[in-house]
Amino acid sequence: MVNYRMQGARWVRLTVSDVLAELERREPALVDVLAGTTDRDVRAVWLAEDLHDIGESPPQALVVLSRAASRDAQGYKLDVALRRLGADVAGLVLQSDAPRPSLSAVALARREELSLIRLTRPADVTRLLTTVVRMLDAQLPTLLDRAMGVCAEVAALESEQLTDAALLRRSGAARTFGLQLVARDPRLTGIPAVLTDPEGPWLQREPTTAAEDALAQLAMWRIAAAMTRRSIETERAHELSLMSAGELLNQLLDATTEEGGPLIRRAADVGVRVEAWHQIVQLEFANLPALAQDDPVAGYHHTQTLGRVAVQTAAHHEGRWTMAPRAGGVLLLRSSSRPDGPAELRRLRTAAQTVIDAMVASLPGLEVLCGIGGSHEGLQGMRASRAEADSALQSARLRGALNEPVLFDAPGLSRLLVEWYSSSSVRHSIDDLMAPLAGLGKAKQKEYATTLRVYLENNRSVSRTSEQLYLHRNTVAYRIRRVLDVLGVDLDDPSQFLALYLACYASTMQYGSGGPLRAADRRPRSAGPTT
């Protein structure tokens, strides 16, 4: 079996009558129409070497039997062959060697309106097939012109604010090639409309096996390129908007009082309403380094993806949401026109849980710590809510509360002290007071600061401090003497005692550093002084 199919253009008809007229012009009295109509469209030509090949012929094909197949087409065999052709075939051509068709075969062709044709004398089948192929091929320049026209139209329309469906329609691709923008259908041929999103809509059409399909593919790829570029530009603009707002939010939270004015003026330009009521949701990715296999590039990309998932999920809930990336996680700011009551807090907790679930679904195995601050007004309120969220996050870390939100009220911390600590000037004063400890090294700094805090919380009792920290009394006493000497503080002075106590308390609110020892760190140490 040999396939000589060539597809014609949709808008130029080539009928069986046209083919017969050309054959008559080339070789007069060569063909005899035995039955059926000659008005059917011819979209391909198909040579069947055997009667069994007939069922594989494409739609609207002019099927030509070989000499061997023609001799075999007699009696009931021809009847069966005609039934196998189906109603969408243009016609069947028998060689002159074929027996005269039976009356039943003629009746069947007439009923199906199928052209039943018999050559009157021996003919070169190759020349016959070539004649039809050239007639089909002659339509290709017109088809190519239309395909190029579609591509040129797409280029002209790219800069316009059109939907993908409008671009497909106005470019002429839907009319010319029957392209559709639909959910993927395996029965159709096509490609993703946005090449980076194979799960989205596809550009598809009814499958063909010839030249028109190749030119339709050309149009598909050009349209997909335009839709993909527009999708990437839209996503990039959205990401730049998020980055701009997130960067400004980080600056607002960390800025000094003097820097606040210019930042507030910029905030309105990126959609951050400083004068509103705010709540901070702090999210920390506890095991992200392990999931990224300690690859900083992979960790960065995971963080970017999780941030997008977080803000896109949060946007479906009440309030205006802004996302800012933070070290080891992200921060979400929820702004509203009024303070939250109990019902709003419950909805916020639900929203935070939804965000956590969405992030875990996007990166299976992720462990998230989440702290939620209270609702406060203005810039200072935003900073107070951040401090509360940090404290709630610290509580979640100590309790091992993974993948569930923890509200600030849950730790039972003093709101007054948290609001006090949210002042940038207070934080700078605390940093200055505790700065000398940095000279001891990071590990010693944490150990000494924790020992000092517990010592002060236990009313300067060495015994209770050693019991709580599982340390020897001599170790506690040595550390206290050492840290007081480094800081140059006299605890017998009430003002110095208060300043140091508040500084130690504030360390429990600092995200990512300081704070009480984790349960895993609370284990017996060797007796005797350590340095």
Higher pLDDT, 258 or 153: 153
Tokens representing residue 161 in the block: 């604010």
Residue 106 has pLDDT above 70, yes or no: yes
Band of residue 354 on the pLDDT scale cut at 50, 70, 90: very high
Of 410, 436, 451, which closes a domain?
410
CATH number where 452 lies: 1.10.10.2840
Band of residue 409 on the pLDDT scale cut at 50, 70, 90: low
Distance between CA 498 and CA 509 in Å, rounded? 17
Same domain, 10 and 82: yes
Cβ count within 10 A of residue 444: 18
Q: Which residues have C-beta within 8 Å of that of residue 63, sequence separation ≥ 6?
A: 46, 48, 54, 57, 85, 89, 90, 91, 92, 93
Distance between CA 13 and CA 9 in Å, rounded? 8
Tokens representing residue 424 in the block: 């940038």
pLDDT at 10: 41
Residue 140 has pLDDT above 70, yes or no: no
| DSSP-assigned states of every residue in 199-264 | TS-EEEE----SHHHHHHHHHHHHHHHHHHHHHHHHHHHHHHHHHHHHHHHHHHHH--HHHHHHHH
Same domain, 178 and 97: no
Residue 263 has pLDDT above 50, yes or no: yes
> Beta partners for 320?
335
Considering only 7-21, 307-321, 405-419, which range has the smallest mean pLDDT?
405-419
Same domain, 432 and 345: no
Higher pLDDT, 512 or 268: 268
pLDDT tens-digit map of 228-241: 888 877 766 555 44
**8 A C-beta contact, residue 106 and residue 113:** no
The residue range of the domain holding 15 is: 3-137
Domain assignment of residue 366, yes or no: yes
Of 202, 233, 264, which closes a domain?
233
What average pLDDT does range 96-113 have in this prediction? 88
What average pLDDT does range 129-133 have in this prediction? 79
Domain assignment of residue 258, yes or no: no
What average pLDDT does range 427-445 have in this prediction? 83
Band of residue 416 on the pLDDT scale cut at 50, 70, 90: low
DSSP state of 510: -
Angle, CA of 449, 417 and 460, to the nearest 5°: 40
pLDDT tens-digit map of 266-316: 665 656 777 788 888 999 999 998 998 888 888 888 988 898 899 889 988
Residue 257 has pLDDT above 60, yes or no: no
Higher pLDDT, 209 or 385: 385
Residue 368 has pLDDT above 90, yes or no: yes
What's the whole-number average pLDDT of the chain?
79
Same domain, 390 and 290: yes
pLDDT at 216: 84
Tokens representing residue 207 in the block: 């499958």
pLDDT at 267: 64
Of 233, 262, 297, which closes a domain?
233
HSE-up of 388 (CA within 13 Å, CB side)? Answer: 27
Task: Report in angstroms the alpha-carbon separations of 409 from 278, 413, 494.
Answer: 16, 7, 30
Cβ count within 10 A of residue 11: 11
Percent of the chain residues topping a pLDDT of 70: 81
Q: Which helix (H) or strand (E) holds 11?
A: none
Domain assignment of residue 531, yes or no: no
Residue 134 has pLDDT above 80, yes or no: no
Same domain, 118 and 144: no
Greatest mean pLDDT among 74-78, 219-223, 502-506: 219-223
Greatest mean pLDDT among 13-22, 164-173, 414-423, 504-513: 164-173
Residue 242 has pLDDT above 60, yes or no: no
Cβ count within 10 A of residue 12: 10
Same domain, 489 and 360: no
Same domain, 329 and 366: yes
Higher pLDDT, 244 or 453: 453
What average pLDDT does range 95-124 have in this prediction? 89
Domain assignment of residue 301, yes or no: yes
Same domain, 436 and 369: no
Distance between CA 17 and CA 497 in Å, rounded? 108
What average pLDDT does range 42-50 have in this prediction? 85
Same domain, 124 and 24: yes
pLDDT at 359: 94
Alpha helices in 315-410 (DSSP H): 342-362, 378-399
**Total tally of structural domains belonging to the chain:** 4
Tokens representing residue 343 in the block: 């019902």
pLDDT at 244: 66
pLDDT at 396: 82
β-pairing, 91-94 vs 61-65, is parallel
Band of residue 255 on the pLDDT scale cut at 50, 70, 90: low
Domain assignment of residue 530, yes or no: no
pLDDT at 3: 37
pLDDT tens-digit map of 67-88: 888 988 888 888 888 888 867 7
